Amino acid sequence: MKSVEEINSRILVVLSGNLSTTPRAVKTILSLMNYVPIQIVLVNRLDKWEKLDQDLIKKHDLEVSVINLGRKPFLPWLKATIKEKLARLVYPLLRNNLTVNAWASNKSSIMLWHHLKTSQLLDVDLILGFSGGGIYPVFRAAQKLKKPFILDIEDYYPEEFIAKDPDNEKARREYLLKYILPKAKAITSASPLIGQELLNLINSHPNHQVLFNSFSQFDFVKPVAVDSGKINCVWFSQQIGPNRGLEELFQAANGL
């Protein structure tokens, strides 16, 4: 594969979520922009993230195509919803069908692939995918353009908390990873444990690299030491809620 310095056209970055909720993608994009033009396709999942995305786009002068996951515009949402429901309906009969697995797993995959296959992307040399919903459309776009693709796996998606149809959804996510990841030019993961789970699932990969999440020291205010006899914890996450690890943290803290 060409080095970044040798690429003369552009890199396509695909996100199945917002820029503002995918800091790994933002750091990658800002780094690569020093060498090559970047074309971004993302999914706006919630209006509350849209303004933050627009601030990032304006600040860094990014070239972005935005797909709205909501009902506006209505027709693309309706088509994707119908495809998702039909795929889940026929899934028990077609468990080894790639498209059925992808459509039944993630509606954003449907909308992303529809956008990519109807867009002018002929000058793209490399495709980078971030987040689980981007795996299938990145793979299909790479097939269409006959270009290499790289996938960043920030979480081990089959073991995430799944509220709806968890057994089948876990199986679908495992199927997509096992089918698509071996065909990637390279894979990055956010931790050694995530990377090892991936490699165990797909029986290894010649180009896997762990890229730890990191944050600038200038993003934080140094805490002031307080000797209160209590343990003070900082929970650094996009949201606080159930099934995100707090339960285990509290249980462990009770033993101290």
b/e burial code for range 223-240 (CB count within 10 A of at least 16 → b): eeeeeeeeeeeeeeeeee
Q: How far apart are CA 246 and CA 194, in angstroms?
A: 19
Instruction: Give the mean model confidence (pLDDT) for residues 146-167.
Output: 93
Kindly report the pTM of this predicted structure. 0.87
Q: What's the confidence (pLDDT) of residue 9?
A: 74
pLDDT surpasses 70 at 6? no
At residue 3 the predicted structure's pLDDT band, cuts being 50, 70 and 90, is low
Look at 219 and 74; give whichever has higher pLDDT.
Answer: 74
CATH code of the domain occupying 4-217: 3.40.50.11720
pLDDT surpasses 70 at 121? no
Q: Which two tokens stand for residue 166?
A: 């968890």
Phi, psi of 224 (to 5 degrees): -90, 130
For 26-67, the pLDDT digits (tens) are 999 999 999 999 999 999 998 888 999 999 999 999 999 999
At residue 215 the predicted structure's pLDDT band, cuts being 50, 70 and 90, is confident
At residue 218 the predicted structure's pLDDT band, cuts being 50, 70 and 90, is confident
pLDDT surpasses 60 at 138? yes
Instruction: Give the mean model confidence (pLDDT) for residues 64-76.
Output: 93
pLDDT surpasses 90 at 228? no
Q: Which two tokens stand for residue 229?
A: 């006899």
Q: Where are the domains of the chain?
A: 4-217
